[in-house]
A = this chain, B = another copy of it.
Amino acid sequence: MRILVLNVNTTASMTTAIGDSAREVASPGTQIIELTPDFGADSCEGNFESYLAAIAVIDKVVNYPEPFDAVIQAGYGEHGREGLQELLEVPVVDITEAAASTAQFLGHKYSVVTTLDRTVPLIEDRLKLAGLTDRLASVRASGLGVLELESDPQRAIEAIVDQSRHAVQEDKAEVICLGCGGMAELEHQVREATGVPIVDGVRAAVTIAESMVRMGLSTSKVRTYAPPRPKRVIGWPLTRLTEVNAAS
């Protein structure tokens, strides 16, 4: 089984970290292929960057030259999953939803702890659309940006541990979803500090994508995610896709 794991930003080191995380839980026989979009921002921390990432991720996936069995969109609170579902026949799993769905099997309420405060509404909105807010205790932000996770990891970890503790003690979360990726150390320290299960979205998504493939299930095509109707799409870098549509 081959699973494409798409980073949503253009920072290659984060793609590597995401791929490593995915491989930790992938079954023997599952090949994880992590991909970096060809355009977009070096971190996604708002709606403009997220909308751009939606298209960049689609562009990367539809131009991927080999067959694949599932796609994971590895950005927290990002746009675009619905577009991929229309264009592909294979299952598409968003890590925001994967983490929340997994958390709900582990405790009565869950919280998400992320980086910047400005991305909290994006995450809340994606969870609202996904129908996963009834048991959401809170989305909390550490106040540190995505790239600071790499540049000053210790300070970032402390801030995230701190917010996780508040989520458990004040918001009554019983599970924490980490809305920022790629650090084994982070996960370990949050678990130590709070005593609750910590869900990593990338790993959760890998298990869900594998499960879909094993069960022979993929996106329903009867309504919302039907393939786009054949039509003219002009002036766009998504070459293969537009050619296909223009030809049909």
A interface with B by C-beta (< 8 Å): 10, 25, 27, 38-43, 45-52, 54-55, 58, 79-80, 82-83, 85-87, 91, 93, 97, 101-102, 104-109, 117-118, 120-122, 125, 128-135, 145, 168, 172, 174-175, 194-197, 199-200, 203-204, 207-208, 210-212, 214-215, 217-226, 228-229, 231-238
Q: Known: A97-B105, A105-B97, A231-B43. Is A220-B174 also a contact (CB below 8 A)? A: yes
Q: Known: A48-B87, A231-B41. Is A204-B196 also a contact (CB below 8 A)? A: no
Quick check: B235 and A39 within 8 Å, CB to CB?
Answer: yes
Quick check: A128 and B128 within 8 Å, CB to CB?
Answer: yes
Chain B nearest CB, measured from A92 CB (Å)? 8
Q: How far is the CA of A219 from the CA of B108 in the complex (A)?
A: 9
Quick check: A52 and B49 within 8 Å, CB to CB?
Answer: no
Closest 7 CB pairs of A and B: A131-B134, A207-B211, A39-B235, A107-B220, A47-B82, A174-B220, A108-B224
Chain B residue nearest in CB terms to A94 = B105
Q: Known: A45-B228, A231-B41, A232-B41. Is A55-B58 also a contact (CB below 8 A)? A: no
Quick check: A121 and B47 within 8 Å, CB to CB?
Answer: no
Q: How far is the CA of A82 from the CA of B106 in the complex (A)?
A: 11
Quick check: A215 and B207 within 8 Å, CB to CB?
Answer: yes
Please indicate the chain B residues that have their CB under 8 angstroms from the CB of A121 in the complex. Answer: 108-109, 223-224
Chain B nearest CB, measured from A62 CB (Å)? 9
Please indicate the chain B residues that have their CB under 8 angstroms from the CB of A45 in the complex. Answer: 228-229
Q: How far is the CA of A86 from the CA of B39 in the complex (A)?
A: 19
Q: Known: A25-B214, A58-B51, A102-B211. Is A197-B220 also a contact (CB below 8 A)? A: yes
Please indicate the chain B residues that have their CB under 8 angstroms from the CB of A118 in the complex. Answer: 223-224, 226
Chain B nearest CB, measured from A29 CB (Å)? 10
Please indicate the chain B residues that have their CB under 8 angstroms from the CB of A196 in the complex. Answer: 220, 222
Quick check: B47 and A219 within 8 Å, CB to CB?
Answer: no
Quick check: A51 and B83 within 8 Å, CB to CB?
Answer: yes
* Cβ 8 A contact of A234, one of B40, B122, B129, B225: B40
Quick check: A108 and B215 within 8 Å, CB to CB?
Answer: no
Chain B nearest CB, measured from A4 CB (Å)? 16
Chain B residue nearest in CB terms to A108 = B224
Please indicate the chain B residues that have their CB under 8 angstroms from the CB of A83 in the complex. Answer: 47-48, 50-52
Q: How far is the CA of A104 from the CA of B185 in the complex (A)?
A: 31
Q: How far is the CA of A109 from the CA of B133 in the complex (A)?
A: 16
